[in-house]
Amino acid sequence: MILNGNNKEKVRRHITISKKVNDEMKRLSEINNVSHSYIVETALRYYIENEGVEYLELYEVLNKLANPIHEELKRLRFSSNDMNKDLMIVKEFINHFFVTQNNERLVTTDEVKSKELEALEELVNDDLKKKRQRKLSS
């Protein structure tokens, strides 16, 4: 493949470009006193020569933007895990209260689930399904 402009063999192509790109190509053509095909060929040559090149400056900028977001997501995940743990403890105590009603031994949900807790779980699951459906339909 010859990438320099010295190749005498030319191939005619019909291309479609956006109006904005066409206007910019006309402007560049007039300023630089070159043909439209020269601008297209130069742009394509540049693209071919630089395809796959890593732009380190762009990666640095993106990392600077992403790192604070990543750190905040970590904090949120840890916070969410703590809240989940606390909610599980509360769930166990509620279940214990309904199952034992002043019994001395702690009864966990693994051993016995109260009817009240099952009803609460079903209610919460139904609410979550409705919220998911609303989110998907919007």
The model's pLDDT over 74-99, given as tens digits with 9 standing for 90+, comes to 888 878 877 777 787 788 777 777 77
Q: What is the pLDDT of residues 109-132, one digit of tens each?
A: 777 777 877 887 888 788 778 877
| Per-residue pLDDT at 83 | 79
Compute the Cα dihedral for 85, 87, 93, 99 and give only its sign: negative
Residue 116 in tokens: 């009240």
Query: Which residue reads 């560049």 in tokens?
Result: 28
Confidence check: pLDDT of 3 > 70:
no
pLDDT confidence tier of residue 1, bands split at 50, 70 and 90:
very low
The alpha-helical segments, DSSP class H, found in 1-138 are 19-32, 36-50, 56-100, 115-137
What's the mean pLDDT when you consider all of the chain? 79
Confidence band of 14 (pLDDT split at 50, 70, 90): confident
What integer pLDDT is reported at residue 30 of this predicted model?
92
